[in-house]
């Protein structure tokens, strides 16, 4: 129902004939002003038509709608997207998944008019203007219909008819949505919880959600990107209920999904890796130094991630990383070697206790980038080898297991299903207890939480249900103190692999004593030290197809572990003490200092050293 008496807004319609804007009419009703503006625009007498809103408490008016005669505007192009959120009700088109999909398709229009998709859904003037675009709108409609046809099995034409009907209903509702301004005023004065309570008390159940979204759209309307961002952050900060936090989270996510909004809020980035590292730091609450050229409200967003689970915003920022990382653009301006180092550093930032942040899309992107960057002399790695290299970057078996489970849900993983299953079964067969899954410094409580996280990843994987049930039961068993993680009746290709030897003790005063049978380091671990053998013997070996491959016996005076410190890639082999052995520890900082001095004193020798390490790694991969 209408509440004209509660509105303190005045709406003005202005026309432009090439020189200046002239007020043509004034109204207290937005719908009346919008309809009149459209009549003027359709008359063809004016170059442009604008609608503004002015409220009693404002110092300047908002521009709600501005449109020029269509022939005078630069043509827009739709932005194709690979997948869509299916909507089986009208309300579903107002929810965030659908808004993100639609917003990505019509991004060019939204960016031109400084709009989010939520605002567009409640703006009859812009909806009609979009409908009149003879090329852009039909193309957008066809693309959306094609995506939905894949999900429903219907024909593309059937979905086009359906989407056109939905569009007409959305336009009709937007024209009648006169209550949004009032509820937006309640929100501004008393907070979102109070405004939602009024909506729930005064509007029927079926229209409450749409009314809430209309209130939020009105709150954002007419503002610039940074202003919209600041208001959205403020709504989270002021929220006292989780549903208010979730709604404000949607607003932030939708803003940060847009190209123009991100450029204005972040001020641009010199390289893609700089952008991705910034997004990673924000979602982990570590972006505590905001440059002056960025919106200062990013510091507020960073702080909010420490207090709230802003899942929608987190998802959107991680999607930005995955989309870029899975492409072919250079990560830096320094060439392939720097791109490799930057890539490895980014992956380390994305690592969680049980995998990689971002789910299947991120894991697929990591494998694709490993394929192009971790090969030798510019050559791409086979996908199977790239998967193994991605696993080597993980610091624990739990993280590797999470990566493999996520990979099953990706398009790449489904194409290489056999490889994924082999790696998964090989990993599971090597686990004997919960202590094999996580690093030694993880406490038992976090280990159990990690098991729960792995079960969640398992549930979202595309493995067969019987395999899921078996593995889930095994994870529960191991969390409860059971023995081997893989049941004895599950066949694996590596059933003869034996339990790993005990881990090495901690170094003291730069020296390390290994008892016979103790492991110094394992293949795939991240190297942080190199070692000089002062006394004793070490065996260096690799694991291939479940079999131990002897590589070398090293004794007094020899150094090992130096390759990982030179190129910062994971260990390529394991080392175990054959007899009681004494080692001198060479720290990463020590070696890097020596390499830096070498680079300064003899750049040719420094380059030859790094080249030799890369070629040795390449030779090892070829022989796998």
In 335-416, alpha helices (H): 336-350, 359-373, 383-392, 397-408, 411-415
CA 233/CA 218 separation, integer angstroms: 16
Where does residue 539 rank: exposed (0-12), middle (13-18), buried (19+ CB within 10 A)? middle
In 63-155, alpha helices (H): 96-105, 107-112, 117-121, 124-131, 136-152
CA 83/CA 150 separation, integer angstroms: 9
CA 161/CA 153 separation, integer angstroms: 15
Structure tokens at 236: 């989270």
Pairing label, strands 529-535, 581-587: antiparallel
* Residue 394 contacts residue 405 (beta carbons within 8 Å): no
Residue 377 has pLDDT above 80, yes or no: no
* Residue 148 contacts residue 84 (beta carbons within 8 Å): yes
The answer for residues whose C-beta is within 8 angstroms of residue 319's C-beta and 6 or more apart is 257, 358, 361
Q: What is the DSSP letter of 583?
A: E
CA 391/CA 526 separation, integer angstroms: 11
Q: What does the chain come to in residues?
A: 624
CA 154/CA 300 separation, integer angstroms: 46
Q: Is the backbone of residue 545 left (phi > 0), alpha (psi -120 to 50) or beta?
A: left
**Helix 259-266 × helix 297-305 angle, to 10°:** 100
CA 126/CA 115 separation, integer angstroms: 10
**Bridge partners of residue 118, in order along the sequence:** none
* Residue 261 contacts residue 253 (beta carbons within 8 Å): no
The answer for residues whose C-beta is within 8 angstroms of residue 92's C-beta and 6 or more apart is 85, 98
Domain boundaries, the chain: 4-72, 91-175, 180-253, 511-622
**Bridge partners of residue 513, in order along the sequence:** 582
Query: Which residue do the tokens 């131990």 mark?
Result: 548
Q: How does pLDDT run across 569-605, given as a tens digit for each residue?
A: 677 788 999 889 999 888 777 666 665 665 566 555 5
Q: What is the mean pLDDT of residues 173-180?
A: 82
Which pLDDT score, from 0 to 100, does residue 621 have?
46
The answer for residues whose C-beta is within 8 angstroms of residue 457's C-beta and 6 or more apart is 354, 355, 402, 405, 406
- Window from 62-66, 251-255, 379-383, 566-570 with minimum mean pLDDT: 566-570
CA 475/CA 392 separation, integer angstroms: 22
Q: What is the mean pLDDT of residues 200-215?
A: 91
Binned at pLDDT 50, 70 and 90, residue 31 comes out as confident
Is residue 273 helix, strand or coil?
helix
Residue 499 has pLDDT above 50, yes or no: no
**Bridge partners of residue 576, in order along the sequence:** 519, 539
Neighbours of 281 (CB within 10 A): 16
Chosen CATH of 511-622 out of 3.40.50.1100, 2.60.130.10, 2.60.120.10, 3.40.50.1820 = 2.60.120.10
Q: How does pLDDT run across 232-272, given as a tens digit for each residue?
A: 999 999 999 999 999 999 999 999 999 999 999 998 888 99
Structure tokens at 555: 């004794």
Pick the more confident residue, 256 or 11: 256
Backbone phi, psi, residue 372, to 5°: -90, -20
Structure tokens at 602: 């003899």
Q: How does pLDDT run across 318-356, given as a tens digit for each residue?
A: 999 999 999 888 998 888 889 999 999 999 999 998 899
């Amino acid at each position: 129902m209408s509440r004209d008496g509660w509105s303190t807004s005045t709406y003005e319609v202005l026309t432009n004939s090439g020189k200046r804007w002239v007020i043509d009419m004034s109204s207290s009703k937005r719908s009346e002003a919008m309809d009149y503006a459209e009549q003027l625009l359709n008359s063809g007498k004016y170059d442009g038509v604008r609608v503004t809103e002015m409220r009693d408490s404002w110092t300047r008016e908002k521009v709600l709608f501005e449109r020029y005669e269509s022939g005078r505007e630069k043509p827009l192009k739709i932005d194709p997207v690979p997948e869509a959120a299916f909507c089986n009700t009208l309300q579903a088109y107002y929810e965030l998944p659908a808004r993100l999909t639609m917003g990505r398709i019509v991004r060019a229009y939204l960016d031109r008019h400084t709009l989010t998709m939520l605002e567009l859904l409640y703006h009859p003037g812009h909806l009609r203007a979009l409908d009149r675009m003879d090329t852009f709108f039909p193309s957008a409609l066809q693309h959306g219909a094609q995506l939905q046809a894949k999900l429903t099995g219907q024909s593309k034409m059937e979905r086009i008819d359906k989407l056109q009907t939905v569009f007409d209903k959305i336009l009709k509702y937007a024209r009648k949505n006169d209550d949004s301004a009032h509820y937006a005023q309640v929100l501004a004065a008393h907070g979102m919880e109070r405004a939602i309570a009024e909506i729930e008390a005064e509007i029927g159940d079926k229209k409450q959600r749409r009314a809430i979204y209309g209130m939020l759209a009105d709150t954002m309307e007419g503002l610039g990107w940074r202003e919209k961002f600041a208001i959205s952050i403020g709504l989270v900060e002021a929220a006292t209920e989780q549903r208010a936090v979730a709604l404000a989270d949607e607003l932030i996510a939708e803003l940060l999904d847009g190209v123009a909004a991100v450029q204005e809020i972040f001020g641009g980035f010199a390289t893609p890796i700089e952008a991705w590292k910034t997004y990673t730091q924000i979602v982990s609450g570590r972006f505590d130094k905001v440059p002056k050229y960025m919106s200062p409200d990013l510091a507020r967003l960073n702080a909010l991630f420490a207090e709230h689970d802003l899942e929608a915003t987190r998802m959107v920022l991680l999607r930005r990383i995955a989309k870029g990382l899975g492409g072919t653009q250079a990560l830096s301006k320094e060439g392939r070697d720097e791109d490799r180092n930057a890539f490895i550093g980014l992956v380390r930032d994305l690592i969680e206790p049980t995998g990689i942040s971002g789910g299947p899309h991120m894991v697929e992107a990591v494998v694709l980038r490993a394929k192009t960057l971790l090969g030798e002399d510019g050559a791409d790695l086979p996908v199977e080898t790239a998967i193994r290299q991605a696993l080597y970057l993980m610091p624990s078996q739990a993280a590797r297991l999470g990566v493999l489970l996520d990979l099953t849900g990706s398009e790449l993983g489904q194409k290489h299903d056999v490889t994924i299953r082999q790696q998964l079964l090989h990993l599971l067969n090597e686990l004997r207890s919960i202590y094999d899954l996580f690093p030694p410094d993880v406490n038992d409580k976090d280990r159990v939480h990690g098991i729960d996280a792995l079960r969640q990843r398992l549930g979202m994987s595309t493995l067969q249900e019987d395999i899921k049930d078996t593995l889930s039961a095994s994870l529960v068993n191991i969390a409860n103190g059971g023995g081997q993680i893989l049941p004895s009746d599950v066949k694996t290709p590596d059933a003869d692999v034996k339990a790993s030897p005990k881990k090495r003790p901690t170094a003291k005063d730069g020296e390390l004593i290994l008892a016979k049978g103790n492991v110094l380091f394992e293949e795939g671990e991240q190297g942080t030290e190199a070692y000089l053998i002062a006394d004793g013997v070490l065996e260096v070996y690799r694991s291939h197809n479940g079999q131990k491959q002897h590589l070398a016996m090293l004794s007094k005076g020899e150094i090992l572990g130096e390759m990982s410190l030179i190129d910062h890639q994971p260990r390529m082999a394991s080392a175990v003490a054959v007899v009681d052995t004494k080692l001198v520890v060479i720290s990463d900082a020590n070696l890097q200092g020596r390499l830096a001095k070498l680079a300064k004193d003899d750049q040719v020798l420094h380059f030859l050293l790094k080249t030799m390490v890369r070629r040795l790694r390449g030779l090892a991969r070829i022989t796998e």
